[in-house]
A and B are shown apart, each in its own frame.
Chain A
Amino acid sequence: MTTPDKLRIGSREAIRLVAVREITVRIRSKAFLVLLAITAAAAVAIPLISHYANLSSGPTRIAVVQQDASLAPALQATAAQLGQKVTVSTVADRATGVDQVRSGDVAVLAESGPQGIRATVKKSLSTPLNQLFQVVDQQAALNAQITKLGGDPATVGQAVASAKVQVTELQPAKARNGQRLTIAIVAALLLYMTLMFVGQSVAQGVVEEKSSRVVELLLSTLRPWQLLAGKVFGTGLLGLIQMLVPAVLGVGVGLFTGALSLSLGSSIGTVAWALAWYGVGFALYALVFAALGATVSRQEDVGGLVLPATAPLILAWVVGISVVPSNPESSLVEWLSMVPPCAPVLMPMRIAMGVAPLWEMLLSLVLALAFSGVLLRFAGRIYRNAVLRSGARIPLREALKAA
């Protein structure tokens, strides 16, 4: 013997070795790198695009001819009231104005006429401009009538402006903040994609070992649960990288460019909850996928297995993306966010929207953890019974039963 005999390695060391192998092999795989590159690029691009979109949407340019110069202050004042941003420039004559419209230097040439403003545009008058001109015309007509009746248009204007509806909200809706919604959707999407990816990776990894028969070699020195645990931990850590990189990049770029105006604390809170839910969701799905993977011997069979198991995940994502934007406090979403297989996508979404009370957050978390505890029992059993049996797909009932 060239080397003295070593005693068997301990469980922790065994799990560590399996997990490290899983990470080092998968981190170099194209599927992982491509997905990471896409999500990271998207995470950087979304806040950047929204940042530059805000910068480039400058004021609408309006041209008026010299003799209508008095129109300019009215247009600017009314635009300000309507919350529109406009700049008004004066051109020498109509021909110059029309040229500028044609060349796109200005959006519209406005002239006063007997029936009100005459607008010349390249193709069609935009709705905001139409509204602006109409209000200016109405104001002019009103002012003319007020003056005629001996009143002061300015006083009337003030009186009108001071009239306001008083509202008492008995059950005030949470602020529907566009940014919260964006974060909620991005968080849900990341969780959905990562859980899908990680789940499939686990299933494929188990089948790879089975179909290549390397599992026989491994299980002559490892216990099944050690192999399963190492595999699940390793893939889970990879999924964490898959989540964390885009999340940190997105929040970082968002805060840096100012596209994200939520407080740092609230952003980090959302990210932290999303990560916690990743952990729970992963525990739920990875075990199911590992157990399912163990029942087949060929990669081709993985697809058919994975689909039914991902159904709750897909349901959660579809409901989330279609209901939450219009109705964040939907009771359907509220209920589903309590159902363990759907919770990992929907609960972080509700948390990001700021519509989940603390007790619901905690209850949903406890339910999901309890559920994954139950799954662990069954999944471990199926895996142990099925992983060494090659050939045709093993029915779940049989895998659960076999000693």
Chain B
Amino acid sequence: MSDRRLEVDGVSKRYGDTVALSGMTFEVRAGEIFGFVGSNGAGKTTTMRIALGVLAADAGEVRWDGTPVTLETRSRIGYMPEERGLYPRMKVGEQLEYLARLHGLTRVDAVRATAEWTERLGVAGRLGDEVQKLSLGNQQRVQLAAALVHHPEILVLDEPFSGLDPVAVDVMSEVLREKCADGVPVIFSSHQLDLVERISDRVGIVRAGRMVAVGTVAELRSGGTEELVVEAPQAAQGWADALPGVTVLTQDGGRTVLSLGTDADDQAVLRAALATGPVREFARRQPSLTELFRHVVSAQDKPEEAAA
């Protein structure tokens, strides 16, 4: 596997008085799926559009394999724009062949790649139909085929999963995995955080035009505090209050959620719980990406978040 990487380095962009990106920096390695998450308006789409050269950055640089991305590099990127872009009145097959040829494929290769990808994505039967006659889900599959049809070296997909049914989500994830195994860096954005958690190798959380947290899901979790769930039906109110390093988050009947500080001993908690009577459940809970995301976004951004 190559160690080529797509680097977004200190990219800034303003629209008039609005700062869209300020020093956005991260990298995506070849053979890695990078999940890009953030609130609406945080700068995900702007970053992707700048990487594709559809938008010019005010400052900063996007590099592939150490050299700044040029139009030539871009023709080897597979791009799925957030607002889908296909000619509504053009036939699926002709459209994909056209896009493939614009990216430099010969006619024969374009026809072959179109057949291959429409087959793979389950829209081969619609090659002769106009795009506007397809359901939204199928249009989405065609859109993905358009991003893949020229055998791209890099994939940049803005919200590829939105509007897809579970079967299509599986097909799409599988394709991304496969591309990634071929050594293609894949960057995608999504608001479906469980999905991002499941398929991404690394995740970047973006807020107000900056990357605020980046790493594997496990790495991101290690930054957060650990939680413990204890189900002890006979426990009295405040049974755990006196334990050192432990904060009770909620207690609802017999179910208590605790957060453990660095000096806390979970075994001491278990003993205290057993002292109250039977313990039905005792579990460490790792925060989900959704919780991490809420934490990262809300902790640092109280005033502005209300507007977004």
In the complex, what's the smallest C-beta–C-beta distance from B120 to chain A, in angstroms?
A: 12
Complex contact B102–A3 (CB within 8 A): no
Complex contacts, B99 vs chain A, CB 8 Å: 217
In the complex, what's the smallest C-beta–C-beta distance from A86 to chain B, in angstroms?
A: 62
A76 to B139, CA, bound (A): 81
Interface size on B, residues (CB 8 A): 38
Confirm or deny: A215 has a beta carbon within 8 angstroms of a beta carbon on chain B.
Answer: yes
Confirm or deny: B4 has a beta carbon within 8 angstroms of a beta carbon on chain A.
Answer: no
Q: Mark B134-152, 1 if CB is under 8 A from A, else 0.
A: 0000000000001000010
In the complex, what's the smallest C-beta–C-beta distance from A12 to chain B, in angstroms?
A: 13
Complex contact A21–B98 (CB within 8 A): yes
In the complex, what's the smallest C-beta–C-beta distance from B22 to chain A, in angstroms?
A: 19
Most A CB atoms within 10 A — which of B77, B81, B105, B106?
A: B81
In the complex, what's the smallest C-beta–C-beta distance from B180 to chain A, in angstroms?
A: 13
Confirm or deny: A93 has a beta carbon within 8 angstroms of a beta carbon on chain B.
Answer: no
Complex contacts, B49 vs chain A, CB 8 Å: 216
Complex contacts, B76 vs chain A, CB 8 Å: 5
The residue on B at minimum CB distance from A223 is: B71
With beta carbons under 8 angstroms apart, the residue of B56, B85, B182 that contacts A216 is B85
In the complex, what's the smallest C-beta–C-beta distance from B30 to chain A, in angstroms?
A: 12
Complex contact A221–B103 (CB within 8 A): yes
A51 to B79, CA, bound (A): 61
Complex contact B81–A213 (CB within 8 A): yes
In the complex, what's the smallest C-beta–C-beta distance from B165 to chain A, in angstroms?
A: 23
Q: Mark B97-109, 1 if CB is under 8 A from A, else 0.
A: 0110111111001
With beta carbons under 8 angstroms apart, the residue of B81, B102, B146, B182 that contacts A9 is B102
With beta carbons under 8 angstroms apart, the residue of B75, B88, B182 that contacts A221 is B75
Complex contacts, B54 vs chain A, CB 8 Å: 216, 219-220, 388
- Decide if the interface of chain B is mainly helix, strand, loop or mixed: loop
Complex contact B98–A217 (CB within 8 A): no
Most A CB atoms within 10 A — which of B81, B85, B101, B182?
A: B85
With contacts A8-B72, A216-B54 known, is A221 near B102, CB below 8 A?
yes
With contacts A5-B153, A218-B102 known, is A388 near B72, CB below 8 A?
no
Confirm or deny: A7 has a beta carbon within 8 angstroms of a beta carbon on chain B.
Answer: yes
Number of CB contacts from chain A to chain B under 8 A: 87
Complex contact A214–B86 (CB within 8 A): yes
A208 to B95, CA, bound (A): 14
Interface of chain B residues 78 through 135 with chain A (CB within 8 A)? 79, 81, 83-90, 94, 98-99, 101-106, 109, 113, 116
With contacts A3-B113, A208-B87 known, is A8 near B75, CB below 8 A?
yes
Interface of chain A residues 206 through 230 with chain B (CB within 8 A)? 208-209, 212-223
Confirm or deny: A95 has a beta carbon within 8 angstroms of a beta carbon on chain B.
Answer: no
Confirm or deny: A17 has a beta carbon within 8 angstroms of a beta carbon on chain B.
Answer: yes
Confirm or deny: A263 has a beta carbon within 8 angstroms of a beta carbon on chain B.
Answer: no
Complex contact B104–A213 (CB within 8 A): no
In the complex, what's the smallest C-beta–C-beta distance from B308 to chain A, in angstroms?
A: 19
Complex contacts, B84 vs chain A, CB 8 Å: 213
Confirm or deny: B52 has a beta carbon within 8 angstroms of a beta carbon on chain A.
Answer: yes
Complex contact B98–A17 (CB within 8 A): yes
In the complex, what's the smallest C-beta–C-beta distance from A206 to chain B, in angstroms?
A: 13
A213 to B159, CA, bound (A): 15
In the complex, what's the smallest C-beta–C-beta distance from B187 to chain A, in angstroms?
A: 14
Interface size on A, residues (CB 8 A): 31
A374 to B81, CA, bound (A): 35
Confirm or deny: B253 has a beta carbon within 8 angstroms of a beta carbon on chain A.
Answer: no
Complex contact B71–A214 (CB within 8 A): no
With beta carbons under 8 angstroms apart, the residue of A6, A212, A213, A218 that contacts B105 is A6
A8 to B73, CA, bound (A): 8
Confirm or deny: B53 has a beta carbon within 8 angstroms of a beta carbon on chain A.
Answer: yes
Complex contacts, A219 vs chain B, CB 8 Å: 53-54
Complex contact B102–A14 (CB within 8 A): yes
The residue on B at minimum CB distance from A5 is: B76
The residue on A at minimum CB distance from B70 is: A8
Q: Please name 22 pairs of A and B residues whose Cβ atoms are closer than 8 Å in the assembled complex, sorted by A.
A: A1-B182, A6-B104, A6-B105, A7-B104, A8-B71, A9-B75, A9-B102, A17-B102, A21-B98, A25-B90, A212-B85, A212-B87, A212-B88, A216-B49, A216-B54, A217-B86, A219-B54, A220-B53, A220-B74, A221-B75, A388-B54, A388-B55
The 5 closest A-B pairs by CB, nearest first: A213-B85, A6-B104, A214-B85, A220-B52, A221-B75
Add 20 more A-B contacts to A5-B151, A17-B102 (CB < 8 A): A2-B151, A3-B109, A5-B153, A6-B103, A6-B106, A17-B101, A18-B102, A25-B90, A209-B87, A214-B85, A214-B86, A216-B83, A216-B85, A217-B79, A217-B86, A217-B99, A219-B53, A220-B74, A220-B75, A220-B79
